């Protein structure tokens, strides 16, 4: 922006190449925000993949899928300064018709297993009416 104010038109890619060559970094944008990742390596037993990419079914509550999603939202602290908060959403989706059976959201700094397990218990009670075996699929992350 400063170069443009002074009358120099420089492509941002060329500017980044010059900055990299001179080993110059911008202090404001060096700290990247960390994205949500619950994967901790190989902990415990890995369950067999019973779905095998066969996501369609004609029987309600036979195949259910879930995943945890992180959302960021802005609030103000006691000094009226904006701050970033996180919310975690745990929907349980029936693969029969795409209906969300149960969802639970949790406002916290870290994902919580209690929220996931509470939603799982509620989903199991909903799916008890299925005459066939119910498979709950997750990415195990």
Tens of pLDDT along 70-126? 888 888 888 888 888 888 888 888 889 888 887 766 566 677 777 778 888 888 888
Give burial (CB, 10 Å; 0-12/13-18/19+) of 139.
exposed
For the full predicted model, state whether its pTM sits above 0.75.
no
3-state secondary structure of 74: strand
The reported pLDDT for the residue numbered 41 is 63
Residues 6+ apart with CB under 8 A from 118: 104
Residue 78: C-alpha distances to residues 17, 74, 81, 82, 85 (Å): 42, 13, 7, 10, 14
pLDDT band at residue 33 using 50, 70 and 90 as cut-offs: low
């Amino acid at each position: 922006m400063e170069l443009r104010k002074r009358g120099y038109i420089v492509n941002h890619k060329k500017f980044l190449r010059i900055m990299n060559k001179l080993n110059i970094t911008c202090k404001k944008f060096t700290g990247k925000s960390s994205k949500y990742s619950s994967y901790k390596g190989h902990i415990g037993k890995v369950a067999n993949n019973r779905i095998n990419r066969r996501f369609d079914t004609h029987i309600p509550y036979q195949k259910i899928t879930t995943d945890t999603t992180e959302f960021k939202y802005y609030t103000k602290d006691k000094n009226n300064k904006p701050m970033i908060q996180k919310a975690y959403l745990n929907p349980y989706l029936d693969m029969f018709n795409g209906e969300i059976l149960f969802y639970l959201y949790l406002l916290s700094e870290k994902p919580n297993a209690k929220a996931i397990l509470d939603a799982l218990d509620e989903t199991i009670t909903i799916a008890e009416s299925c005459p066939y075996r119910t498979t709950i699929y997750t990415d195990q992350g």
